[in-house]
Amino acid sequence: MKRVLIPTDFSIRSLNMVQHAVNKFPGEKIEIVLFHLLAMPTSITELMVLPRKKNEYYSIVSDEFYEATQILKNKYASSIDSFTITFQHGSTRAWFNNFLEGRKIDAVVAPGELELAPVFKSSINMSKLIDKCKCLIITPRMKQAEIAEHVPSMAELLPVAQ
């Protein structure tokens, strides 16, 4: 089984990258890790309340987003084993590579031209970390205009019955 990290801003549009992960490993089961990176707190007070903020982080994930992941899991049932949502604090290449190694991540989907919106003030753009990571990088080949035109709706995520 392959484990693939996909950066997300928890928009339905960001789930477009799932298809690229599935296409990269045809016939293999994959575990999708939806990942959002946050800057390390800068004060001792922020560090002390960090464990309590976990619920705040997960509350940003909409029901529609959870539903979309379930639809994708059903659509690609032969490929997707599971979805996991992870928030982490860090910002260095060394930290990121250690995280990838520790979580046994096989590949990372680079957002490419897809611009992920910062969800929190402390959200970090992961593009530079991904470009320098030590595992396989999957880069979708979509231009910004194509991304803007194709924002999937929930209906588009459903397989078409014939």
Which domain CATH number covers 123? 3.40.50.620
Q: Is residue 67 part of a domain?
A: yes
Question: Is pLDDT above 80 for 3?
Answer: yes
- Name the pTM for this structure: 0.83
Task: Give percent helix, percent strand, percent coil of the chain, each to the nearest 5.
Answer: 40, 20, 40
* 134 belongs to a structural domain: yes
The total of other beta-carbon atoms located within 10 Å of residue 58's CB is: 10
pLDDT at position 78, please?
A: 94
DSSP codes of every residue in 28-94: S-EEEEEEEEEPPPSSHHHHHHGGGGHHHHHHTS-HHHHHHHHHHHHHTTTTEEEEEEEEEE--SHH
Q: What does the pLDDT average to over 1-18? A: 94
Is residue 162 in a domain?
Answer: no
Q: What domain range includes position 20?
A: 2-157
DSSP class of 103: T
Q: Which secondary structure element, helix H or strand E, spans residue 23, and what is its range?
A: helix 16-24
Using a 10 angstrom Cβ sphere, with 0-12 exposed, 13-18 middle and 19 or more buried, the burial of residue 17 is buried
- The answer as to whether 10 is a domain residue is yes
13 three-state secondary structure: helix
Question: Tell me, what amino acid is at 1?
Answer: M
Strands 80-89 and 30-38, sheet pairing: parallel
pLDDT at res. 65: 95
Backbone angles phi, psi at 105, to 5 degrees: -80, 125
Whether residue 144 has pLDDT greater than 50: no
The total of structural domains in the chain comes to: 1
pLDDT of residue 142: 59
SS3 160: coil
Q: Is 117:29 a contact under the CB 8 Å cutoff? A: no
Could you tell me which residue, 54 or 155, shows the higher pLDDT? Answer: 54
Q: Is the pLDDT of residue 36 over 90?
A: yes
